[in-house]
Structure 1
């Protein structure tokens, strides 16, 4: 696993939207969080990004600074799907991005929450933060 440089850590700790790329041509905008040098995203088990990761763990994640879009980070790595802790991590992301706890709108779908844990193998930082 590659260590995230400080510029990457700052972007992943901010409430900036990330683009997750999986499979051959699937991309989606998601919330992203960081545990040490690992990234995490929360999804649902029936979504394409989860199916793609189960078939091929290779992913890339791109996040950029909305105030300075020429400053961005691209992470390439391997993802794994977990179910433990999905509700807690979803709440953590909701609080980061909205300032409010996660609101459960469909309890049946909440049971399908999964965590995509991404272990960086290559990290590229573009532009400068200021």
Structure 2
């Protein structure tokens, strides 16, 4: 079933609000990370490094939750549940796009620098359920 995000949820995701990404550790306990997120259609994209706990968790179990809220009005929020897939961030293009949404045009240059040798991956979240008061707006 395809979930279509409403305009309020889209506006939250299109603004530079930090989000909390929750995955499942091997023992079933939750693992949460503050992340930057962008939207591509109704899918959500997060950039991370290969080998980080959230990436390892998602490779093993793609179930994910992401909560985003308006910094000026923290009671306006959306919790998005879904499944995630992982792919390599070729040329770090997604990392740069995300950094520029949060930091401004041209600010993503350092995120595009691969000289550190780290492999960046894209976490693509396909929503299956949207909760919170932004989802009802």
TM superposition score normalised by structure 2:
0.86
Quick check: 2:8–2:134 contact (8 Å CA) kept in 1?
Answer: no
Deviations 1:43-95 (CA, angstroms, capped at 9, x unpaired): 00110000000010000000000000000000000000001446111111111
Provide the aligned length of Structure 1 versus Structure 2: 128
Report the counterpart of residue 115 of structure 1 in structure 2: 122
Runs of 4+ in 1 over 4 A off after TM superposition: none
Contact 2:70 2:76 in 1 (8 A): yes
Q: Distance in 2 between matches of 1:86 and 1:20?
A: 24
Structure 2: 5+ residue stretches without partners: none
Match of 2:94 in 1: 89
Tell me the equivalent position of 2:10. Answer: 9
Deviation at 1:126, TM superposition (A): 1.5
> Which residue pairs with 2:41 in the alignment?
36
| 8 A Cα contact 2:18 2:37, kept in partner | yes
Verify: 1:52 aligned to 2:60, yes or no: no
Q: Identify which of 96, 108, 118 aligns with 1:101.
A: 108
Shift of 1:102: 3.2
CA pair 5-18 structure 1, distance change in 2 beyond 3 A: same
TM-score of the pair, normalised by structure 1: 0.91
Structure whose residues are more often strand by fraction: 1
